[in-house]
Structure 1
Amino acid sequence: MRSTDSNATQTARVKELPLQSVIQNMHGYGVAKCRALLLKQKFFKLHERYAHAASKESYAAARLQRLQGQLTHQQEELAEAATKAAQYAERIASLKHEINEKKADVVRSSSRQHMLHQQLAALKAEAQELQGQLETQVKRSANSNARFPFERSLKGFPA
Protein backbone atom coordinates (compact mmCIF):
# COMPACT_ATOMS: atom_id res chain seq x y z
CA MET A 1 0.00 0.00 0.00
CA ARG A 2 2.92 2.21 0.67
CA SER A 3 4.26 1.90 -2.84
CA THR A 4 0.90 2.93 -4.34
CA ASP A 5 0.88 6.07 -2.19
CA SER A 6 4.39 6.80 -3.28
CA ASN A 7 3.48 6.25 -6.91
CA ALA A 8 0.43 8.51 -6.57
CA THR A 9 2.59 11.27 -5.09
CA GLN A 10 5.13 10.86 -7.86
CA THR A 11 2.36 10.98 -10.43
CA ALA A 12 0.97 14.16 -8.93
CA ARG A 13 4.42 15.76 -9.00
CA VAL A 14 5.06 14.67 -12.50
CA LYS A 15 1.81 16.33 -13.61
CA GLU A 16 3.37 19.71 -12.75
CA LEU A 17 6.03 19.27 -15.42
CA PRO A 18 5.21 19.55 -19.09
CA LEU A 19 4.24 16.12 -20.40
CA GLN A 20 7.01 15.93 -23.02
CA SER A 21 9.65 16.65 -20.39
CA VAL A 22 8.28 13.99 -18.06
CA ILE A 23 8.23 11.35 -20.75
CA GLN A 24 11.80 12.05 -21.79
CA ASN A 25 13.05 12.10 -18.23
CA MET A 26 11.25 8.91 -17.15
CA HIS A 27 12.80 6.90 -19.92
CA GLY A 28 16.31 8.11 -19.30
CA TYR A 29 16.56 8.58 -15.57
CA GLY A 30 13.89 6.76 -13.77
CA VAL A 31 11.56 7.81 -10.98
CA ALA A 32 14.24 9.11 -8.59
CA LYS A 33 15.64 11.33 -11.26
CA CYS A 34 12.13 12.66 -12.06
CA ARG A 35 11.62 13.43 -8.39
CA ALA A 36 14.91 15.36 -8.36
CA LEU A 37 13.86 17.28 -11.47
CA LEU A 38 10.54 18.15 -9.89
CA LEU A 39 12.29 19.43 -6.79
CA LYS A 40 14.67 21.45 -8.94
CA GLN A 41 11.72 22.90 -10.81
CA LYS A 42 10.00 23.86 -7.53
CA PHE A 43 13.23 25.36 -6.25
CA PHE A 44 13.66 27.34 -9.47
CA LYS A 45 10.08 28.64 -9.26
CA LEU A 46 10.59 29.63 -5.62
CA HIS A 47 13.85 31.29 -6.55
CA GLU A 48 12.11 33.22 -9.35
CA ARG A 49 9.36 34.34 -6.94
CA TYR A 50 11.97 35.38 -4.40
CA ALA A 51 13.95 37.31 -7.03
CA HIS A 52 10.75 38.99 -8.23
CA ALA A 53 9.73 39.87 -4.66
CA ALA A 54 13.23 41.18 -3.93
CA SER A 55 13.10 43.27 -7.10
CA LYS A 56 9.71 44.68 -6.09
CA GLU A 57 10.98 45.38 -2.59
CA SER A 58 14.07 47.13 -3.96
CA TYR A 59 11.92 49.21 -6.32
CA ALA A 60 9.52 50.05 -3.48
CA ALA A 61 12.42 51.06 -1.21
CA ALA A 62 13.90 53.30 -3.92
CA ARG A 63 10.49 54.82 -4.59
CA LEU A 64 9.93 55.35 -0.87
CA GLN A 65 13.29 57.07 -0.56
CA ARG A 66 12.52 59.29 -3.57
CA LEU A 67 9.09 60.16 -2.15
CA GLN A 68 10.61 60.92 1.25
CA GLY A 69 13.09 63.24 -0.44
CA GLN A 70 10.26 64.97 -2.28
CA LEU A 71 8.28 65.22 0.95
CA THR A 72 11.25 66.76 2.77
CA HIS A 73 11.75 69.24 -0.07
CA GLN A 74 8.05 70.14 -0.07
CA GLN A 75 8.08 70.55 3.71
CA GLU A 76 11.03 72.93 3.40
CA GLU A 77 9.21 74.89 0.70
CA LEU A 78 6.09 74.96 2.87
CA ALA A 79 8.10 76.25 5.83
CA GLU A 80 9.61 78.98 3.64
CA ALA A 81 6.16 79.87 2.31
CA ALA A 82 4.78 80.01 5.85
CA THR A 83 7.63 82.31 6.89
CA LYS A 84 6.99 84.58 3.90
CA ALA A 85 3.25 84.52 4.60
CA ALA A 86 3.92 85.58 8.20
CA GLN A 87 6.18 88.38 6.98
CA TYR A 88 3.56 89.49 4.46
CA ALA A 89 0.84 89.35 7.11
CA GLU A 90 2.98 91.48 9.40
CA ARG A 91 3.64 93.96 6.59
CA ILE A 92 -0.07 94.05 5.73
CA ALA A 93 -0.94 94.73 9.37
CA SER A 94 1.66 97.50 9.45
CA LEU A 95 0.28 99.03 6.25
CA LYS A 96 -3.29 98.84 7.58
CA HIS A 97 -2.13 100.63 10.73
CA GLU A 98 -0.45 103.32 8.62
CA ILE A 99 -3.61 103.66 6.51
CA ASN A 100 -5.72 104.08 9.65
CA GLU A 101 -3.30 106.74 10.92
CA LYS A 102 -3.47 108.54 7.56
CA LYS A 103 -7.27 108.37 7.63
CA ALA A 104 -7.24 109.85 11.13
CA ASP A 105 -4.88 112.60 9.91
CA VAL A 106 -7.19 113.29 6.98
CA VAL A 107 -10.20 113.48 9.31
CA ARG A 108 -8.31 115.79 11.69
CA SER A 109 -7.08 118.01 8.87
CA SER A 110 -10.54 117.98 7.30
CA SER A 111 -12.14 119.08 10.55
CA ARG A 112 -9.35 121.64 11.03
CA GLN A 113 -9.93 122.86 7.46
CA HIS A 114 -13.67 123.08 8.13
CA MET A 115 -12.99 125.04 11.32
CA LEU A 116 -10.60 127.36 9.45
CA HIS A 117 -13.22 127.89 6.73
CA GLN A 118 -15.75 128.82 9.43
CA GLN A 119 -13.26 131.20 11.04
CA LEU A 120 -12.45 132.67 7.62
CA ALA A 121 -16.14 133.15 6.88
CA ALA A 122 -16.61 134.82 10.29
CA LEU A 123 -13.59 137.05 9.66
CA LYS A 124 -14.91 137.97 6.21
CA ALA A 125 -18.29 138.80 7.70
CA GLU A 126 -16.60 140.88 10.41
CA ALA A 127 -14.40 142.56 7.77
CA GLN A 128 -17.49 143.42 5.71
CA GLU A 129 -19.20 144.78 8.80
CA LEU A 130 -16.14 146.85 9.67
CA GLN A 131 -15.89 147.98 6.05
CA GLY A 132 -19.52 149.08 6.23
CA GLN A 133 -18.90 150.93 9.49
CA LEU A 134 -15.81 152.56 8.00
CA GLU A 135 -17.70 153.67 4.93
CA THR A 136 -20.46 155.06 7.16
CA GLN A 137 -17.93 156.98 9.23
CA VAL A 138 -16.19 158.26 6.11
CA LYS A 139 -19.53 159.52 4.77
CA ARG A 140 -20.36 161.15 8.11
CA SER A 141 -16.94 162.68 8.21
CA ALA A 142 -17.29 163.93 4.68
CA ASN A 143 -20.71 165.38 5.51
CA SER A 144 -19.42 167.08 8.63
CA ASN A 145 -16.42 168.50 6.74
CA ALA A 146 -18.72 169.83 4.10
CA ARG A 147 -20.75 171.65 6.74
CA PHE A 148 -17.79 172.82 8.78
CA PRO A 149 -14.78 173.22 6.48
CA PHE A 150 -12.77 175.23 9.01
CA GLU A 151 -12.63 172.34 11.46
CA ARG A 152 -9.88 170.91 9.38
CA SER A 153 -7.72 173.88 9.84
CA LEU A 154 -8.31 173.92 13.61
CA LYS A 155 -7.16 170.39 14.20
CA GLY A 156 -3.66 171.44 15.21
CA PHE A 157 -4.94 174.01 17.76
CA PRO A 158 -6.07 173.28 21.30
CA ALA A 159 -9.76 173.58 21.86
Structure 2
Amino acid sequence: MMKLTIVSALLLVVVLTTGEASTSFRTSIIEEEAARSTPMRMEAMCMEQMMSQQMLSQCRMYVEKMMHKSLMNPTRGEEEECMDMCCQQLRSMDQECRCDAFKVAVHMPIQREQRDISKMTEEKIMREAERMYSQCNLSPRTCHMSRSA
Protein backbone atom coordinates (compact mmCIF):
# COMPACT_ATOMS: atom_id res chain seq x y z
CA MET A 1 0.00 0.00 0.00
CA MET A 2 2.86 2.32 0.86
CA LYS A 3 4.43 1.69 -2.55
CA LEU A 4 1.14 2.55 -4.22
CA THR A 5 0.93 5.85 -2.34
CA ILE A 6 4.51 6.78 -3.26
CA VAL A 7 3.98 5.84 -6.90
CA SER A 8 0.73 7.81 -6.97
CA ALA A 9 2.44 10.84 -5.43
CA LEU A 10 5.32 10.64 -7.92
CA LEU A 11 2.86 10.25 -10.78
CA LEU A 12 0.95 13.30 -9.57
CA VAL A 13 4.20 15.33 -9.39
CA VAL A 14 5.13 14.27 -12.93
CA VAL A 15 1.68 15.16 -14.27
CA LEU A 16 1.68 18.55 -12.55
CA THR A 17 5.25 19.33 -13.64
CA THR A 18 4.54 18.32 -17.24
CA GLY A 19 1.36 20.38 -17.32
CA GLU A 20 3.16 23.37 -15.84
CA ALA A 21 6.02 23.05 -18.34
CA SER A 22 3.56 22.74 -21.19
CA THR A 23 1.69 25.86 -20.06
CA SER A 24 4.96 27.74 -19.66
CA PHE A 25 6.06 26.67 -23.14
CA ARG A 26 2.74 27.77 -24.68
CA THR A 27 2.88 31.08 -22.84
CA SER A 28 6.39 31.84 -24.06
CA ILE A 29 5.41 31.05 -27.66
CA ILE A 30 2.39 33.36 -27.43
CA GLU A 31 4.50 36.12 -25.88
CA GLU A 32 7.11 35.81 -28.65
CA GLU A 33 4.43 36.01 -31.36
CA ALA A 34 2.88 39.05 -29.69
CA ALA A 35 6.26 40.78 -29.44
CA ARG A 36 6.90 40.24 -33.15
CA SER A 37 3.49 41.45 -34.28
CA THR A 38 3.06 44.34 -31.82
CA PRO A 39 5.25 46.89 -33.66
CA MET A 40 3.45 46.16 -36.92
CA ARG A 41 0.06 46.34 -35.24
CA MET A 42 1.04 49.54 -33.47
CA GLU A 43 2.26 51.12 -36.70
CA ALA A 44 -0.96 50.17 -38.48
CA MET A 45 -3.05 51.49 -35.58
CA CYS A 46 -1.14 54.79 -35.58
CA MET A 47 -1.51 55.14 -39.34
CA GLU A 48 -5.24 54.48 -39.04
CA GLN A 49 -5.53 57.15 -36.34
CA MET A 50 -3.54 59.60 -38.41
CA MET A 51 -5.80 58.98 -41.40
CA SER A 52 -8.88 59.51 -39.25
CA GLN A 53 -7.42 62.89 -38.31
CA GLN A 54 -6.89 63.82 -41.98
CA MET A 55 -3.12 63.31 -41.67
CA LEU A 56 -3.17 66.02 -38.96
CA SER A 57 -4.34 68.57 -41.52
CA GLN A 58 -4.54 71.37 -38.95
CA CYS A 59 -0.93 70.81 -37.88
CA ARG A 60 0.19 70.81 -41.51
CA MET A 61 -1.78 73.99 -42.13
CA TYR A 62 -0.08 75.64 -39.16
CA VAL A 63 3.35 74.70 -40.50
CA GLU A 64 2.42 76.01 -43.93
CA LYS A 65 1.38 79.29 -42.33
CA MET A 66 4.72 79.44 -40.52
CA MET A 67 6.56 78.82 -43.80
CA HIS A 68 4.66 81.51 -45.69
CA LYS A 69 4.06 83.92 -42.86
CA SER A 70 5.27 86.91 -44.84
CA LEU A 71 3.05 85.96 -47.80
CA MET A 72 -0.14 85.01 -45.99
CA ASN A 73 0.23 87.32 -42.96
CA PRO A 74 -2.40 85.50 -40.87
CA THR A 75 -3.84 87.29 -37.88
CA ARG A 76 -2.88 86.18 -34.38
CA GLY A 77 -6.41 84.78 -33.88
CA GLU A 78 -6.13 82.63 -37.01
CA GLU A 79 -2.80 81.23 -35.83
CA GLU A 80 -4.17 80.40 -32.37
CA GLU A 81 -7.28 78.77 -33.82
CA CYS A 82 -5.19 76.66 -36.19
CA MET A 83 -2.88 75.63 -33.35
CA ASP A 84 -5.83 74.77 -31.08
CA MET A 85 -7.31 72.58 -33.81
CA CYS A 86 -3.94 70.87 -34.32
CA CYS A 87 -3.75 70.14 -30.58
CA GLN A 88 -7.29 68.79 -30.70
CA GLN A 89 -6.37 66.42 -33.53
CA LEU A 90 -3.31 65.24 -31.58
CA ARG A 91 -5.38 64.74 -28.40
CA SER A 92 -7.70 62.38 -30.26
CA MET A 93 -4.76 60.07 -31.00
CA ASP A 94 -3.18 57.51 -28.68
CA GLN A 95 -0.21 58.81 -26.74
CA GLU A 96 2.11 56.30 -28.45
CA CYS A 97 1.23 57.68 -31.88
CA ARG A 98 1.23 61.43 -31.31
CA CYS A 99 4.87 62.41 -31.69
CA ASP A 100 5.60 60.30 -34.77
CA ALA A 101 2.37 61.44 -36.43
CA PHE A 102 3.23 65.06 -35.63
CA LYS A 103 6.70 64.66 -37.14
CA VAL A 104 5.19 63.31 -40.35
CA ALA A 105 2.66 66.16 -40.48
CA VAL A 106 5.35 68.80 -39.97
CA HIS A 107 7.68 67.32 -42.57
CA MET A 108 5.03 67.01 -45.30
CA PRO A 109 4.84 70.72 -46.20
CA ILE A 110 8.59 71.13 -45.74
CA GLN A 111 9.35 68.31 -48.16
CA ARG A 112 6.79 69.63 -50.64
CA GLU A 113 8.55 73.02 -50.71
CA GLN A 114 12.10 71.81 -50.08
CA ARG A 115 13.59 73.85 -52.94
CA ASP A 116 12.02 77.09 -51.72
CA ILE A 117 13.17 77.06 -48.09
CA SER A 118 16.64 77.43 -46.69
CA LYS A 119 18.21 75.12 -44.13
CA MET A 120 18.02 77.92 -41.57
CA THR A 121 14.31 78.40 -42.24
CA GLU A 122 13.74 74.67 -41.93
CA GLU A 123 15.56 74.58 -38.58
CA LYS A 124 13.48 77.54 -37.38
CA ILE A 125 10.30 75.71 -38.38
CA MET A 126 11.48 72.61 -36.49
CA ARG A 127 12.10 74.64 -33.33
CA GLU A 128 8.70 76.30 -33.68
CA ALA A 129 7.04 72.91 -34.21
CA GLU A 130 8.67 71.54 -31.02
CA ARG A 131 7.44 74.60 -29.13
CA MET A 132 3.99 74.23 -30.61
CA TYR A 133 3.75 70.56 -29.65
CA SER A 134 4.77 71.28 -26.05
CA GLN A 135 2.13 74.04 -25.83
CA CYS A 136 -0.55 71.45 -26.54
CA ASN A 137 0.14 70.00 -23.05
CA LEU A 138 0.03 66.44 -24.28
CA SER A 139 1.77 63.30 -23.22
CA PRO A 140 4.55 62.79 -24.14
CA ARG A 141 5.35 66.37 -23.12
CA THR A 142 7.96 66.90 -25.82
CA CYS A 143 8.40 65.78 -29.40
CA HIS A 144 11.94 66.30 -30.67
CA MET A 145 12.00 67.11 -34.32
CA SER A 146 14.73 66.06 -36.69
CA ARG A 147 15.46 66.64 -40.33
CA SER A 148 14.25 63.17 -41.26
CA ALA A 149 10.97 61.76 -40.04
Same fold (TM over 0.5): no
TM-score (norm 1): 0.34
Larger Rg: 1
TM-score (norm 2): 0.36
Higher RCO (C-alpha 8 Å, min separation 6): 2
